Structure 1
């Protein structure tokens, strides 16, 4: 059993933020996109490792829940940057990871959604966002996430059809989670 902090540390998150502070963030730039997805994937991988150890009996539900909450608290801490673009960058990553954290916590607490497919939940989330109900949109994405954790394949092509907004971000998080569950290898912090 891993000791607390073995999944994700404040230091690890801060290393990513320091790297972001040092780099120019141009949304059109491939390196910025890679940094964005590496930051998100790194946290999703930590979540996947907790879920894997729960599945393998290395963690009980209470310990898993505690680790997931700890990782969420590290990543969701308010970040200070002088650069507005970098603040938006981090805010978008945090928004994307909300669906990952809440799906994992919901899965540990209550298991997977009882019916539906990840795609149906994501479509319902997009409809909810169109009605300006972001909380409902997030909850639908959380349900999609519980199914992904349970092993259902999410068709990531659906992400391309979603208008940019909260649901698009939540789906980025779910895509990252699905990849992390398939291959929970840590993202290298250095190039």
Structure 2
């Protein structure tokens, strides 16, 4: 095995672009189940990449420094500005990107600082309270802390979102739900 073969690729710009091309080609009606599934698959695919980085770290195939680099690499690819010909589709992709923000932060926090003491549900409720007070930095911090707990195996009850006002915290918690699914079952989402 050459050194190049031993370097695992967790995510690529080409993979993200394939998803974006698919979104560009599809008729996307958010009320349509297939459209919603496409966006969820796109989101889950990025979360799976993060879960694979964390698994590689846990299995000692990569060290902490490489894990942080890989998480940042996936983040840079997925959170880069997207230019599509359709504003509605751009907004839908923006929603996916927003949902994934705490996934990247939580994974990095987990690698660097470990699991935060606390309870997922309490963190999510604290985030919703902070959002209600328009303290979005604190809200994101709480969601990231919840994310470290999710990575560590604590269950996130997605029904929490149904109790909340729709906003950033509900989108961020949706991202953590994708991360939770990816950690439990890191199967690759097929692009086609």
Give the match for residue 184 of structure 1: 186
In 2, distance between residues paired with 1:128 and 1:81?
Answer: 33
Query: Which residue matches 1:38?
Result: 41
- The whole-number CA distance in structure 2 between the counterparts of 1:95 and 1:134 is 13
The 5 A counterparts of 1:133-148 are 133-148=135-150
Give CA-to-partner distance per residue, 1:142-164, whole Å, 9 cap, x none.
00000111111111221221211
In structure 1, C-alpha distance between the alignment counterparts of 2:87 and 2:185, rounded to whole Å: 33
1:118 aligns with 2:127: no
Which one of the candidate residues 162, 174, 181 is aligned to 2:164? 162
* Whole-angstrom CA distance in 1 between matches of 2:128 and 2:88: 26
- The reply to whether residue 3 of structure 1 matches residue 18 of structure 2 is no
The CA distance in 1 between the partners of 2:83 and 2:131, in whole Å, is 28
Which of the numbers 37, 48, 51 marks the counterpart of 1:48? 51
If the length of structure 1 is used for normalisation, what is the TM-score? 0.96
Match of 1:105?
108
Distance in 1, Cα, partners of 2:25 & 2:14: 16
Query: Which segments of 5 or more consecutive residues in structure 2 lack a partner in the other structure?
Result: none
TM-superposed CA distance for 1:126, in Å, is 0.4
Cα displacement string for residues 167-187 of structure 1 (whole angstroms, at most 9, x for unaligned residues): 011001000000000000100
Match among 13, 27, 32 for residue 29 of structure 1: 32
Q: Within 2, Cα distance between the matches of 1:2 and 1:35?
A: 32
| C-alpha distance in 2 between matches for 1:160 and 1:131 | 19
Structure 1 unaligned spans of 5+: none
Cα offset, 1:99, TM superposition: 0.8
- Deviation of 1:82 after TM superposition, in Å, equals 2.1
Q: How large is the Cα RMSD of the aligned pairs?
A: 1.1
Give the TM-score normalised by structure 2.
Answer: 0.95
Distance 2:155 2:129 in 1: 21
Match of 1:66 in 2: 69
Q: Could you say what secondary structure the match of 1:58 adopts?
A: coil
